[in-house]
Amino acid sequence: MRVAILGLGSVGRGVASMIAEKKLGITVTGIADSRGGVLDPAGIDIPAVLEQKRATGCCGDPSVTAADIVASSDYDVLVEVTPTNIQTGEPALTSIRTALSMGRHVVTSNKGPLALHFTELMDLAAENGVELRYEATVCGAIPIIQSIQHGLAGNTVHAIYGIMNGTCNYILTRMTDEGLTYEQALAEARELGYAEADPTFDVKGIDTALKCVILANTIWKNGVRLEDVECTGIDLLTVEALSLADSQNCTIRLIGEVAPEKGILRVSPRIVPKKHPLVVRDTLNAVTVVTDMAGAITQVGKGAGSIETASAIIGDLLFIRDCHAGSN
């Protein structure tokens, strides 16, 4: 199977290095970041490209663009792992549309295009007889989309809810354990690289809201959008509030919830008993699916990280390979 990779940040580097290391029968024929690209129908020397990226900040020839890579015919699957833009979804949206229109499968970790244009993109994939897979957009390494689509096939899903943002979970864990203020815990999360310089996207609950939108569209195909989510973040929580929850053997976690039967689509800090299966520590994610036949199923795992996200991307790639023999 031949793949082209757009984006060589943390996720892209993780995917490329795992493809090189694990001998999965995947050949990378194109790679581009925002500053340049490299094309080789015979297969790119990944360690050399990663070294060049590390040394120069650019992965290849500055005259080769992401659009050139997408237009190249030498790949079966486009791996789109550029940063999320929640206003327009671009430039990822155009790359994904182009690849699908050309009859190429797409695997992405990019929440923007999916949250903004879910139905359109899935329809475009179906029209062209290809797959658009996005396991890495929700809860990192946890195979929640695969579980819902395949493991729990035939079940009616009543609700899905959980902790879907590791940065918020880390901040709340530290506030609870050490009595840090929100500002102190955030500063620590930044130092450790868990929080961005501008943490708004995470702490205001927007990242969790995007994941709720993607999950809702995946399960119920209800066309909900980001603006439909009732969204409250964790940035106004106080250490005293956590301590009040603690005195009742509870804690506070940022929970994303989708339950269309009850009209619930929201992200908010919630009081949760400490022994509840969703109460996980540090940057872990935990998500519960409530179904008719299987009951409630909770999965816990790493929600972010280079290699953990690569796990989701590679899972999608191998699913496509196994289900579409022609892609080999």
Q: Which residues are annotated as a binding site for NADPH?
A: 111
The rounded distance, in Å, linking the Cα atoms of 64 and 8 is: 14
In the complex, the smallest distance separating the C-beta of residue 311 from other proteins, rounded to whole angstroms, is: 28
- Which residues carry a binding-site annotation for L-homoserine? 196
In the complex, the smallest distance separating the C-beta of residue 270 from other proteins, rounded to whole angstroms, is: 4
Structure tokens at 95: 């790359």
In the complex, the smallest distance separating the C-beta of residue 184 from other proteins, rounded to whole angstroms, is: 14
Looking at the DSSP bridge assignments, the partners of residue 286 are: 163, 300
Residue number with CB closer to other proteins (5 or 286): 286
The rounded distance, in Å, linking the Cα atoms of 284 and 273 is: 17
Residue number with CB closer to other proteins (295 or 326): 295
Residue number with CB closer to other proteins (1 or 272): 272
Residue number with CB closer to other proteins (174 or 253): 253
- Which residues carry a binding-site annotation? 7-12, 111, 196
What is the 3 state secondary structure string of the chain? Answer: CEEEEECCCHHHHHHHHHHHHHCCCCEEEEEEECCEEEECCCCCCHHHHHHHHHHHCCCCECCCCHHHHHHCCCCCEEEECCCCCCCCCCCHHHHHHHHHHCCCEEEECCHHHHHHHHHHHHHHHHHCCCCEECHHHCCCCCCHHHHHHHHCCCCCEEEEEEECCHHHHHHHHHHHHHCCCHHHHHHHHHHCCCCCCCCHHHHCCHHHHHHHHHHHHHHHCCCCCHHHCEECCCCCCCHHHHHHHHCCCEEEEEEEEEEHHHCEEEEEEEEEECCCCCCCCCCEEEEEEEECCCCEEEEEEECCCHHHHHHHHHHHHHHHHHHCHHHC
In the complex, the smallest distance separating the C-beta of residue 204 from other proteins, rounded to whole angstroms, is: 13
The rounded distance, in Å, linking the Cα atoms of 92 and 87 is: 12
In the complex, the smallest distance separating the C-beta of residue 275 from other proteins, rounded to whole angstroms, is: 13
Check if the beta carbon of residue 158 is closer than 8 Å to that of residue 292: yes
- Which residues carry a binding-site annotation for NADP(+)? 7-12
The question of whether 22 is a catalytic residue gets the answer no
Site of interaction with other proteins (CB under 8 A): 158-159, 161, 232, 236-238, 240-241, 243-245, 247-248, 250, 252-253, 255, 257, 259, 262, 264, 268-272, 276, 278, 290, 296
For the chain, the first-to-last Cα distance in angstroms comes to: 4
Residue number with CB closer to other proteins (264 or 323): 264
In the complex, the smallest distance separating the C-beta of residue 92 from other proteins, rounded to whole angstroms, is: 32
Residue number with CB closer to other proteins (114 or 255): 255
Which of 211, 262, 275, 302 is flagged as catalytic? 211
Check if the beta carbon of residue 235 is closer than 8 Å to that of residue 194: no
Which residues are known to be catalytic?
211
